[in-house]
Structure 1
Amino acid sequence: MNDSAAANIGVIGLAVMGSNLARNLASREGNVVAVHNRTHARTEELVAAHPEAGFIAAKTIDDFVAALARPRTAIIMVQAGAGTDAVIDQLAERFEPGDIIVDGGNAHFRDTIAREQRIALTGIHFVGVGISGGEEGALRGPSIMPGGSAESYRTLGPILSSIAAVAEGEPCVTHVGTDGAGHFVKMIHNGIEYADMQLIGEAYDLLRTVGGLEPDDIADVFAQWNRGPLESYLIEITAEILRHTDPATGRPFVDVVLDQAGSKGTGVWTVQTALDLGVPVGGIAEAVFARSVSAKPEQRAAIRRIRSSRPEVQQADASFVEAVAKALFASKLVAYAQGFDAVVAGAEKYGWNIHQDEIARIWRGGCIIRARFLSHVTEAYAQNPDITTLLEAPYFAQAVAEGEDSWRRVVATAAHSGVPVPGFGSALSYYDSLGADRLPAALVQAQRDFFGAHTYRRTDRDGTFHTLWSADQSETKLRGTAG
């Protein structure tokens, strides 16, 4: 260990994400970085590979703590769960009041809330930080979503700002809110990411199956889309993937990848949390379910065996590509609107003062869902923080209105052609549900009253009512209700 310098920041856990984050920190003027890993050989490898970083290599946890200047600030980049708790406990035993423990992993926000409450009793600050951008983002500049106390952010904020991505001259970091707010917003980000990826996959499938285009042609389409309103990181990398040829077979790379998508759980967390909050996030849910369906090869094979025929693929004309683009954009807007609805509901339930415009601002760069239209999300929430849904903001309302006919055409064409579009279809149904004059929920509520006496309200007078279905079917009004 080098005792000649005191580090203003430390990183524990030197797998790829942790190593890249440490290198990013060390590359910024004013930062001196202490590093520690449970297996010291990995620490030595990192230090040897990057002498320019000037890392302070700590062999033991005590060496690591000793290398940190006060207030000590340490970022934990280990696997979520028991490993994180073990490192937190090690630091909490050695840190002093005012020091800061940062969890930069993909922890569940409720775990972060519990950890913050436990660690706060010691006078030490515990901060859950969402970091998006993958391995490259960690190294070059991620989007960063810190929670924790305002006091801890005074120390941590300048450090995080120094390593964050920059969009339109602004670092992609903001103090999201207290305790678990940072990890909550990162979770929602990942849920939107699921939806966005699924929608892009459906667009590719439509262009190939209905449009008859080959991967190289579709790559050109996506590259063109990336110069317009659909411009985003995910559209950009999709074009690159579709151009890639498998060196072993000479076939398009996308054709040799098994069509079973994996998941690390944050999409599921988003859907579960949204259900708890009573927020419909069908676009995100369908993306999660689509991955689950893809991972059921036996069931998929069984249905293919029993189907005597498949629907005849409808012939697409020259306008189909543009129709898919408009349907994709409208569906993406719905997914983002649903995600921000969940952010608003979570902030209300957990007492977080989250500024939606700031969240959209820091998602403009560094993160996986970075996209051109996020500037319009920032503008919409800045103009009206209490907007009921992003879909009523002028930019989004106009975009959906202009694409609605194409959206309906694409979903109908997919249904007639046997092409699954759970994301496109769910987004359109959600939009239609919001815009319907009257929903069949009236019948559902009557059914609930029939079999479970769950009561109902009426359109013509106030109060809560129950019909005596098994008796004379007369209506009773519950006591204590107005009207």
Structure 2
Amino acid sequence: MVGPTRIGLAGLTVMGQNLALNIAEKGFKISVYNRTTSKADETVESVKKEINLPLYGFHDHNSFVQTIQKSRLIIMLVKVGPPVDQTIITLSNYLEKGDCIIDGGNEWYENTERREKATAKLGLLYHGMGVSGGEEGARNGPSMMPGGSFQAFKYIEDILLKVAAQLIAEAYDVLKSAGKLSNEELHHVFSEWNKGELLSFLVEITADIFGIKDDKGEGYLVDKERVEAAKVFKSSGVGDILTEQEVDKKKLIDDVRQALYASKICSYAQGMNLIRAKSAEKGWDLKLGELARFWKGGCIIRAIFLDRIKKAYDRNPELANLLVDPEFSKEIIERQHWWRRVVCLTIKSGITVLGMSSSLSYFDTYRRDRLPANLVQAQRDYFGAHT
């Protein structure tokens, strides 16, 4: 007979399994359940063979729920959408007032709000909690964003992740296409960058990627995706544009580093501003500095300057934009020369850098006290006069 466990977890995906192991390893007794019962058995057996942690699997909802101590706390890690609603309905048949369900999936925040209201009518507590960090993060220290913080993060998560990765991809493209750096050189460059101000999970794995060769011995993995596209455009003259550029590799590497860092500041500034705006609209009263602290541990966007973002909001909780923080504004102003030079080079070389160029446009738009929107308005007024 299993005694009361501290927490339950429903949904034994790779993330679910590893999060359950992490919780058990911290000394908390945990009950686990999966719709496919063999998954629960597999998880329990693997634990017994290796470390015999206080983790217990169950084949039915009732047994699963009844083993958890009151007031019950259950984390769900199931596929977003209808499966979440179905799991809530099923669990609620066995739960009591005051019990809490936590959705650890990547759900849209409005669905989380809807479910929170629906479960409240049953006397249940409901929280959204984004869990980021992948298999390794879930096992060894995920970034967990509960409640309001999670709702805000879901509003901007895809943008932050895409921008963070896109900027690095663009840096790679400039160095590879304009600078003609080999994969060995790229591995060295990104490894060095990961020792300084660009230290981050994404820069780290990028460095690792350039050191990996295809298992079949056919070259580096990142090159294969370029080959077919290059064949299509070979006769168009685009390739000739790139070969005409004379580039100093050492100088280019430093230019791209400066441009990447400046663009990264802008991407976080935009992300924080979107979260700030949504927080004001919804009345969440989010602490942006705390969000930066959450993301620093285990999250895919974790980076060393998240500490500095937290400090910026600690210094001024009402900070309108990271770009006007004294430290960040000084850094971005100092780097704009190299940033503009890289963007100009990419235009001349026919290299697309939507992330870097749009970040630069955002900076230029934000810093100017006058924009051409007044002409657009005048045009509209003029058009209106003829209707």
> Considering the TM-score relative to the shorter chain, is it more than 0.5?
yes
CA distance in 2, matches of 1:301, 1:211: 17
Counterparts of residues 234-383 of structure 1 (less than 5 Å): 234-256=202-224, 258=225, 304=233, 307-310=236-239, 312-313=241-242, 314-317=245-248, 318-383=250-315
**Mapped contact 1:193–1:369 kept (Cα < 8 A):** yes
Q: Which amino acid aligns with 1:304?
A: F
2:372 corresponding residue in structure 1: 440
Where structure 2 has 5 or more consecutive residues not aligned to the other structure, the ranges are none
Deviation of 1:213 after TM superposition, in Å, equals 0.5
Alpha carbons of structure 1 residues 230 and 305: separation in structure 2 relative to 1, 3 Å: closer
2:58 corresponding residue in structure 1: 58
Alpha carbons of structure 1 residues 219 and 302: separation in structure 2 relative to 1, 3 Å: closer
Q: CA RMSD in A?
A: 1.9
2:170 corresponding residue in structure 1: 202
Counterparts of residues 372-411 of structure 1 (less than 5 Å): 372-411=304-343
- How many residues align? The count is 381
CA distance in 1, matches of 2:273, 2:77: 29
Alpha carbons of structure 1 residues 445 and 259: separation in structure 2 relative to 1, 3 Å: farther
1:136 corresponding residue in structure 2: 136
CA distance in 2, matches of 1:311, 1:259: 16
1:416 corresponding residue in structure 2: 348
Deviation of 1:327 after TM superposition, in Å, equals 0.1
Q: Which amino acid aligns with 2:128?
A: G
Secondary structure of residue in 2 paired with 1:6: coil
Is 1:81 the counterpart of 2:74? The answer is no
Q: Deviations over 1:202-257 (max 9, x none)?
A: 0011111111111110110011111111111111111001111112134012113x
CA distance in 2, matches of 1:132, 1:81: 18
Deviation of 1:190 after TM superposition, in Å, equals 3.8
Identity %: 39
Is 1:214 the counterpart of 2:176? The answer is no
Alpha carbons of structure 1 residues 301 and 237: separation in structure 2 relative to 1, 3 Å: closer
Q: Deviations over 1:415-467 (max 9, x none)?
A: 0001111111101111111122321111222233344x4xxxxxxxxxxxxxx
Q: Which amino acid aligns with 2:131?
A: I
Q: Which amino acid aligns with 2:165?
A: M
CA distance in 2, matches of 1:424, 1:221: 19
Secondary structure of residue in 1 paired with 2:241: coil
Deviation of 1:308 after TM superposition, in Å, equals 4.8
CA distance in 1, matches of 2:380, 2:107: 38
Q: Deviations over 1:242-284 (max 9, x none)?
A: 111112134012113x369xxxxxxxxxxxxxxxxxxxxxxxx
Secondary structure of residue in 2 paired with 1:243: coil
CA distance in 2, matches of 1:186, 1:398: 31
Q: Which amino acid aligns with 1:82?
A: P
For normalisation by structure 2, the TM-score amounts to 0.94
Comparing both structures, which one devotes a greater share of its residues to helix? 2
Secondary structure of residue in 2 paired with 1:98: coil
Secondary structure of residue in 2 paired with 1:26: helix
**Mapped contact 1:131–1:186 kept (Cα < 8 A):** no
Is 1:15 the counterpart of 2:17? The answer is no
1:105 corresponding residue in structure 2: 105
CA distance in 2, matches of 1:378, 1:311: 46
**Mapped contact 1:132–1:186 kept (Cα < 8 A):** no
CA distance in 2, matches of 1:312, 1:27: 57
**Mapped contact 2:233–2:239 kept (Cα < 8 A):** no
For normalisation by structure 1, the TM-score amounts to 0.76
Q: Report which stretch shifted further, 360-369 or 409-418.
A: 360-369
Aligned match for 2:43, one of 9, 25, 46: 46
CA distance in 1, matches of 2:230, 2:167: 24
**Mapped contact 2:263–2:360 kept (Cα < 8 A):** yes
Q: Deviations over 1:145-193 (max 9, x none)?
A: 000xxxxxxxxxxxxxxxxxxxxxxxxxxxxx3xxx4133144244212
1:27 corresponding residue in structure 2: 25
CA distance in 2, matches of 1:302, 1:254: 16
Q: Which amino acid aligns with 1:145?
A: M
Deviation of 1:4 after TM superposition, in Å, equals 2.6
CA distance in 2, matches of 1:224, 1:139: 28
Deviation of 1:128 after TM superposition, in Å, equals 0.6
CA distance in 1, matches of 2:333, 2:59: 60
CA distance in 2, matches of 1:56, 1:26: 10
Q: Which amino acid aligns with 2:34?
A: N
CA distance in 1, matches of 2:136, 2:287: 27
**Mapped contact 1:106–1:183 kept (Cα < 8 A):** no
Deviation of 1:97 after TM superposition, in Å, equals 0.9
Secondary structure of residue in 2 paired with 1:369: coil
Q: Deviations over 1:99-120 (max 9, x none)?
A: 0011000000000000001111
CA distance in 2, matches of 1:450, 1:84: 53
**Mapped contact 1:311–1:416 kept (Cα < 8 A):** no
Secondary structure of residue in 2 paired with 1:57: strand
Where structure 1 has 5 or more consecutive residues not aligned to the other structure, the ranges are 148-176, 261-296, 454-468, 472-483
